[in-house]
A and B are shown apart, each in its own frame.
Chain A
Amino acid sequence: GESVGLHLPTLSVQEGDNSIINCAYSNSASDYFIWYKQESGKGPQFIIDIRSNMDKRQGQRVTVLLNKTVKHLSLQIAATQPGDSAVYFCAEDSGGSNYKLTFGKGTLLTVNP
């Protein structure tokens, strides 16, 4: 994931629009990636995951794209709703099943009604 810092990237969209949240990861050996959503005062909530042998995976209203060439991950949310407003984190697992995830710094998504 990205190095963390004090500034949280923000994305503001209108209700009904599609949202795209981007993430750059650092470890080329990472073979598993996850997107989490975190609402204020709550723990991260699993959204969708993808393994390194895939380029794209779709869920309900969400799609994750993986570009291993440039080490880039994106989360697309279709028809964004006010309830989607939250901080979104990408996380990478550099291998094995030891659950040692490295998180990106997060993106704050604000959906305007």
Chain B
Amino acid sequence: KAGVTQTPRYLIKTRGQQVTLSCSPISGHRSVSWYQQTPGQGLQFLFEYFSETQRNKGNFPGRFSGRQFSNSRSEMNVSTLELGDSALYLCASGEGSGNTIYFGEGSWLTVV
């Protein structure tokens, strides 16, 4: 069974631009959650989707948004990028009925 797949793996953007990151969950998993990882703040929860509905949201500004499609694939978008948005963005998937979630390798975003 394939793991969580995230694309792109690496990207560089300029301040003010926007970015879209994609996540394909483990087959059969209906929950997808997103986390931001930085050296200073560690791993922080962004949001979680289940059956195309956002169930939970972390303490991030409205520039961070996401969505989930009917096939459980998910995307997150960051608009008006700031230097501080440079981070590893991790996607995790779960079955939706338990608590174990499995992470992808992440998307490394650098904002210059």
Contact = CB atoms under 8 A, between A and B. Distances in A.
A6 interface: yes
Which one of B43, B55, B105 has the highest number of Cβ atoms from chain A below 10 Å of its Cβ? B43
Given A6-B39, A98-B48, A100-B48, A46 B33 contact: no
A60 interface: no
Interface residues of A, number: 25
Interface string A18-33: 0000000000000010
B8 to A, nearest CB: 14
A54 B66 CA distance: 35
Nearest to A4: B42
B31 A99 contact: yes
A36 B103 contact: yes
B102 interface: yes
Contact of A98 (B55, B102, B103): B55
Interface stretch (B13-21, B68-76, B77-85, B91-99): B91-99
A105 B100 contact: no
Interface stretch (A9-17, A37-45, A67-75, A77-85): A37-45
Contact of B43 (A49, A97, A103): A103
A34 B97 contact: no
A97 B99 contact: yes
